[in-house]
């Protein structure tokens, strides 16, 4: 059954209403035509595949509708200017650059910090390496030194050992890229003291330090940190606003004024210059003003899912849950894909990351009723 057919069925349902006889007739009609829809098309799915699936609320949409706009390539969009100023000041940095995605803010940062032939040091599970289409090589012309860390986190000793000596045969180690929270690490958070230790190594070796902060506010809320401390340690930070904070589009790259001026040029080269995009920036501002503190709810929901999964005989273990990502290690005869399909058949979407790992990500569109239903469904698997 395709999504298209399921969508058609939902439209038919809206037209005929909830009359049982009408519904039965429609089911028979679909069965005769050979595409009898499964039951889950008759209701909304509970979607834990990612926190990128959130929809703008009515209040956010109204905020977008009223946003003043201008031409951002001329730096004349007041809503974008407000967002860039707000978030850079929140982290104690000089300037910001609004981009469509976190991948673009990461790639612009790497391109701005490096030149072709340099090397980027990062953890082997890093988003900048695993999920950005080979952008480090394609966009920046850099090689990558991958380090095996702890759930996506590396330490100062590893970084120090990874820095290349002055040698004509080797690329120049130029940039360290860290990620907080870690995606494939199950939402793990760095200890801030490790950031400071890595910064000392970076200064001593004249390397720049970038942070992929796709879910940075999850870490800040969980660890009760001050955003300005991040601005003191990192040379650049990419902050995505379309994940847990619920904006439909948008990330902001922050750094000092000279860095952002150069980054703006590379954003243009990569095709990221936007015109009247203030409506999108307004959604991001609404998210920052309304959806940060509530991230603790997502963290609490993730713990509930963890507890339910640990009671199942097909779950070997669950990675430590700190924020809004739950990764279960699957054992036995069934694969993670088969468990995900069984959940889907019952109205719950989760992400199989490999044959043995299943991921749930909680977010602001998950209601208390959704959570109660999900826990009951997991219990019955």
Q: What are 66-114's pLDDT values in tens digits?
A: 999 999 999 999 999 999 999 999 999 999 999 999 999 999 999 999 9
- State the chain's mean pLDDT as an integer: 92
Strands annotated E in the chain: 46-47, 95-99, 118-123, 143-147, 172-179, 208-213, 236-240, 251-255, 315-318, 325-330, 348-349, 351-354, 357-361
Strand, coil or helix: what is 119? Answer: strand
Residue count of the chain, please give it: 381
* Residue 215 pLDDT exceeds 70: yes
The whole-number pLDDT of residue 44 equals 85
Least confident of 32-36, 126-130, 260-264: 32-36
Q: pLDDT > 90: what percent of the chain?
A: 88
* Residue 326 pLDDT exceeds 80: yes
DSSP line for 158-195: HHHHHSPPS-TTSPEEEEEEEESSBTTTTSB---HHHH
The whole-number pLDDT of residue 33 equals 45
* Residue 29 pLDDT exceeds 70: no
Q: pLDDT > 70: what percent of the chain?
A: 89
| pTM above threshold 0.85 | yes
The whole-number pLDDT of residue 19 equals 52
Q: What is the mean pLDDT of residues 174-193?
A: 98
Q: What is the mean pLDDT of residues 255-264?
A: 98
DSSP line for 192-251: HHHHHHHHHHHHHTT-EEEEEETTHHHHHHHHT--HHHHHHH-SEEEEE-SSTT--SS-E
* Residue 257 pLDDT exceeds 50: yes
What backbone torsions phi and psi does residue 362 show, to the nearest 5 degrees? -85, 155
The whole-number pLDDT of residue 39 equals 44
Contact 86, 285 (CB under 8 A): yes
Tell me which DSSP letter residue 74 carries: G
Residue 311: is it exposed, middle or buried by C-beta count within 10 angstroms (0-12/13-18/19+)?
exposed
β-pairing verdict for 118-123 and 143-147: parallel
């Amino acid at each position: 059954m395709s999504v298209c057919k399921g969508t058609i069925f939902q439209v038919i349902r809206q037209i005929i209403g909830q009359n049982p006889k009408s519904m039965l007739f429609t089911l028979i009609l679909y069965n005769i035509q050979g595409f009898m829809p499964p039951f889950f098309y008759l209701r909304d799915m509970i979607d834990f595949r990612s926190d990128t699936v959130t929809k703008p609320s009515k209040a956010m949409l109204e905020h977008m509708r009223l946003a003043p706009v201008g031409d951002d390539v001329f730096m004349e969009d007041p809503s974008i200017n407000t967002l860039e100023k707000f978030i850079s000041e929140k982290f104690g940095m000089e300037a910001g650059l609004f981009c469509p995605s976190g991948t673009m803010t990461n790639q612009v940062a790497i391109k701005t910090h490096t030149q072709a032939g340099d090397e980027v040091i990062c953890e082997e599970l890093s988003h900048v390496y695993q999920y950005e289409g080979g952008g480090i090589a394609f966009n920046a012309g850099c090689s990558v030194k991958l380090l095996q860390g702890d759930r996506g986190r590396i330490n100062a000793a590893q970084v120090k050992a990874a820095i290349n000596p002055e040698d004509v045969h080797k690329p120049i180690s130029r940039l360290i890229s860290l990620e907080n929270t870690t995606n494939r690490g199950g939402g793990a958070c760095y200890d801030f003291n490790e950031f400071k230790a890595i910064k000392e190594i970076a200064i001593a070796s004249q390397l720049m330090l970038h942070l992929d902060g796709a879910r940075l506010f999850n870490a800040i809320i969980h660890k009760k940190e001050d955003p300005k401390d991040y601005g003191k340690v990192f040379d650049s930070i990419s902050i995505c606003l379309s994940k847990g904070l619920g904006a439909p589009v948008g990330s902001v790259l922050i750094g000092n004024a000279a860095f952002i001026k150069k980054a703006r040029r590379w954003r243009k080269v990569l095709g990221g210059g936007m015109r009247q995009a203030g409506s999108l920036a307004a959604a991001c501002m609404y998210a920052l003003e309304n959806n940060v503190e509530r991230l603790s709810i997502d963290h609490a929901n993730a713990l509930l899912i963890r507890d339910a999964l640990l009671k199942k005989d097909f779950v070997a273990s669950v990675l430590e849950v700190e924020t809004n990502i739950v990764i279960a290690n699957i054992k036995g005869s069934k694969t993670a894909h088969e468990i995900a399909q069984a959940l889907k058949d019952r109205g719950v979407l989760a992400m199989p990351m490999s044959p043995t790992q299943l991921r749930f990500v909680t977010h602001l569109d998950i209601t208390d009723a959704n959570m109660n239903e999900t826990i009951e469904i997991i219990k019955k698997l």
